[in-house]
Amino acid sequence: MYKYLVWTGSVALAVLSLFLLVEINQISNTAATTNTVSFNGEGKVTAKPDIAVISASIVTQAVNSKTAQDNNSAKSNAVDSFLKKQGIAEKDIKTSGYDVTPQYRYPVYGGQPTITGYQVTQSYEIKVRDLTKISAILDGLVTAGANQVNNLGLQIENPDAIQAQARQLAIDDAKKKATELEKQVGVRLGKIVNFSEGYNGYPVPMYYDSNKVGGGMGGGGPEPTISTGENDVVVNVTITYQIK
C-alpha cells in the first residue's frame, strides 16, 4: 500500500511538473510576441528609365473576314519593316493580341441581327531601348498603319539593384528610429521577430493619342515631344523588435 501511494504521488508530481513547464513556455512565448515594438522605414532611390514600352494596334475592317485579315497583314508587314529599320530587335516586337470580330447591324424593330462585315485587330507590345528614338517611332508607327497607339510606359528594365539600394535605406531608417527610441525611453530592444516590406517602383503609363499625330491617317504632322524624366523606386519596411 505504501509503495502504491509513493508511485501515485510520483506520477502526480510528474504530471504537475509537465503542466508547469507548458505554462511557463506559454507565458514566455506570449511575452515574446506581446512585448514588442515596430518601426517603419522608407527608402527612395531616383533613377532614369532605360526602356520604353509602347502598346499599339492595327485595326482594319472589310465586308468579309479574309479581306479584313489581308489588309491587316499588309499593314502589319509595314509596321514590322519600319520598326526593324529603326533598329528594334525582333525579340522586342511582340504580338500581344489578334482578334477577328464580326460587325452586326441590329434591326430597329427587333429580329435577328445581320453581319455587315468583320473587324481585325492586331495588337503589339514594342520595347524601345534607344529612348532618343521614341518620338520618331511613335510618329512612324502611325504612318506605317498602326491606327491605335495608346500607351507608353517609361521603365527601368532591371530594377533589382536599385530596389536593393532603396531597401537598405529603408532598413537603415527603421533601425535609426529604433536606436533613438532606446535612448529617449530607456528601453532595451532584443532580437527582430518580424519584418515586412512594400515596394512601389512601377512606372505610371503615359497615354498617347495617335489621332494627334498626323490625324491617325498616315502621318505628316510634327513628331510628339516625349520627356523621359525619372522614376522613383520606393521601398517601405516594418521591423518589429522584442523588448527585453
List pLDDT tens digits, range 198-234.
987 655 455 455 554 444 434 445 566 677 778 888 9
The residue behind cell 485579315 is 69
- pLDDT, tens digit, for every residue of 173-183? 999 999 999 99
- pLDDT, tens digit, for every residue of 28-55? 454 445 699 999 999 999 988 899 999 9
Calpha distance 104→143 (Å, rounded)? 29
Calpha distance 73→67 (Å, rounded)? 10
Using N-to-C axis directions, what is the helix angle for 134-144 and 65-85, rounded to 10°? Answer: 150
For residues 129 and 213, which has the higher predicted lDDT (pLDDT)?
Answer: 129
CATH superfamily of 50-157+203-227: Protein of unknown function (DUF541), domain 2 (3.30.70.2970)
Residue type for 192, please?
I
In which band, very low, low, confident or very high, does the pLDDT at 3 lie, cut at 50, 70 and 90?
A: low
Q: Is the pLDDT of residue 126 over 70?
A: yes
